[in-house]
Amino acid sequence: DIVMTQSPDSLAVSLGERATINCKSSQSILYRSDNKNYLAWYQQKPGQPPKLLIYWASTRESGVPDRFSGSGSGTDFTLTISSLQAEDVAVYFCQQYYATPRGFGQGTRLEIK
Partner 1 sequence: QVQLVQSGAEVKKPGASVKVSCKASGYTFTNYEINWVRQATGQGLEWMGWINPNSGDTGLAQNFQGRVTMTRDTSISTAYMELSSLRSEDTAVYYCARSKGDYSSIWYAIPESWGQGTLVTVSS
Task: State the residues that interact with partner 1 by CB under 8 A.
Answer: 1, 34, 36, 38, 40, 42, 44, 49-52, 55, 61, 93, 95, 97, 100-107
Least CB distance to partner 1 at residue 88 (A): 19
Residue 4 CB, nearest distance to partner 1 (Å)? 10
CB of 33 to partner 1, least distance (A): 11
d(CA 8, CA 55): 21
- Close Cβ partners of 50 (under 8 Å, ≥ 6 residues apart): 42, 43, 44, 93
